[in-house]
Amino acid sequence: MFQSNSNPTPSSRATFADLRLNPALLEAVSREGYQHPSPIQEQAIPRVLTGRDLLACAQTGTGKTAAFALPILQLLAGRTRTPGSPRDIRALVLTPTRELASQIGDGFKRYGAGLPFQSTVIFGGVGQYGQEQALRKRPEIVVATPGRLLDLMGQGIVRFNGLEILVLDEADRMLDMGFIHDVRRVISALPKNRQTLFFSATMPPEIAKLASQILVQPDRVEVTPVASTAEKIAQSVYQVPMNLKTPLLIKLLEDQTVRRVLVFTRTKRDANRVSDSLNEAWIPAAPIHGNKSQGARERALAGIKAGELRVLVATDIAARGIDIDDVTHVFNHDIPNIPETYVHRIGRTARAGREGIAISFCAPEERGFLRDIERLIRKKPQELSPPEGLEPEVKKRRMRPTAPSGRPPRDRSGSAQNERRDARPAQSERRDARPAQNERRDARPAQNQRRDERQAQGQRQEQNRPFRPGRDRPFENRGPRP
């Protein structure tokens, strides 16, 4: 079904000029400081330039963005469009997360700075008005998450009549996040005559089935098996109970050589809690997960890139969507229950040939997950002993927020209510202090007597009034109601 890579292993001495890229792209790559392509780039770029479909298996951090962005820009630049024809979207990149979409969009802008192409990024979590305005400018390249793209397609705002290239990036991650059905709906609305590039770190059965359905005689490139981890990552594990994980993390972060850190937790609530504990210990940190607004996520990423934050606490939604250079340490605050997730987490460090450190905290109830990871990576992380004197973490009870006026939270113990009750005068005393209602009633004129007099006077006037012809008719002589 798939044509495997029959070429010899690429040479580490190859340069981007050997890949037949045009001068504008070579200049952009040089500006980025890259001299030699990574294995996935060296194998994928020549195959994409031939116009064939591609199935690429490579784990995160191997340079996949440039592996498809550079040849796409060159292909679009070399294909002339009919003069006077409307400008259509020519390349679409589908990706699972907002962060990854922004990262890919930035890559297209950097690499295509010397080419006359426009690109835009579409994702949820923000208002769509700005994205509508960007689409009205008719960009050639669109990077999108499936959900928001389907919304815009349903509204007739975006069409793909002239699409030439489709890229599915992190396809297995889209399966994990439940986007696979949205992906199928998007693909069904695209032209059949197109080039498709399929990138995935793993190849579960459903992803393999999808690839076989949308790819036509593709070339296959596989550079790093899923079970392997970067050789320059030093992996270790601490066996600690749950209530000692955060104190141990704070203790290890006292080492100032731990400069730029990613901490992964299993849940969003844990990410918030760990981040709050680190900030209380005077360690600048921020959480990033799906419940955070797009603005908060972008501020957190900008903060750690600028050095204002030292630690970013994230859930697995960010394991393959964060592009941060020079991450020195990755901490697994919770052992992931999916072994492949461990590989993607620690892949955030030791990128571009650098060294990195991955440290995991394993509670007794998580040892089964750790054994699954060891079987997958065929390696046992070094086991370290936690330092003595760690105080167990006490989970704080969430307090009711203060009122907007600054009033303190309501006291529900009952003591304040009893004090207020004792402080007010007795009801009997207040009743005795006011004038007797009976006395006031006797002092005022008799209302009943005046009312009776008014009624009697009205009756006498009605009886003495003369008959008015045409206006006063006997009831029995009245006609039907009009």
pLDDT at 4: 44
pLDDT at 445: 60
pLDDT at 125: 82
What average pLDDT does range 61-71 have in this prediction?
88
Paired sense of beta strands 195-200 and 165-168, if any:
parallel
Beta bridge partners of 220: 55
How confident is the model over 147-185, as pLDDT tens digits?
999 999 999 999 898 999 999 998 888 887 788 899 999
pLDDT, greater one: 479 or 136:
136
What average pLDDT does range 7-35 have in this prediction?
80
Beta bridge partners of 358: 235, 330
pLDDT at 234: 92
Q: How far apart are CA 331 and CA 324, in angstroms?
A: 15
- Name the phi and psi angles at 457, rounded to 5: -65, -40
Domains of the chain plus CATH, in order, are 16-78+86-222 (3.40.50.300), 233-384 (3.40.50.300)
Confidence class for position 440, pLDDT limits 50, 70, 90: low
| Burial of 48 (C-beta count, 10 Å sphere; 0-12/13-18/19+) | buried
How confident is the model over 327-384, as pLDDT tens digits?
999 999 999 988 878 887 888 887 666 788 999 999 999 999 999 999 988 889 999 9
Which of 199-203, 380-384, 428-432, 449-453 is most confident?
380-384
How confident is the model over 112-122, as pLDDT tens digits?
998 989 999 99
Q: List, as own/partner pairs, every contact residues 343-346 make where C-beta atoms lie below 8 angstroms and the sequence separation is at least 24, other chains included.
A: 343/59, 343/201, 343/226, 343/227, 343/228, 343/229, 343/376, 343/377, 344/59, 344/60, 344/201, 344/316, 344/319, 344/320, 345/262, 345/264, 345/316, 345/319, 346/229, 346/230, 346/233, 346/235
What average pLDDT does range 235-241 have in this prediction?
96
Lowest average pLDDT, out of 97-106, 273-282, 364-373, goes to 97-106
Confidence class for position 8, pLDDT limits 50, 70, 90: very low
pLDDT at 436: 58
pLDDT at 11: 47
pLDDT, greater one: 341 or 212:
212
pTM greater than 0.95: no
pLDDT at 206: 85
Confidence class for position 451, pLDDT limits 50, 70, 90: confident
Among 99, 106, 107, 105, smallest CA distance to 124 is for 99
Average pLDDT, the chain: 82
User: Would you say 327 and 349 are in contact if contact means Cβ atoms under 8 Å apart?
Assistant: yes
Confidence class for position 2, pLDDT limits 50, 70, 90: very low
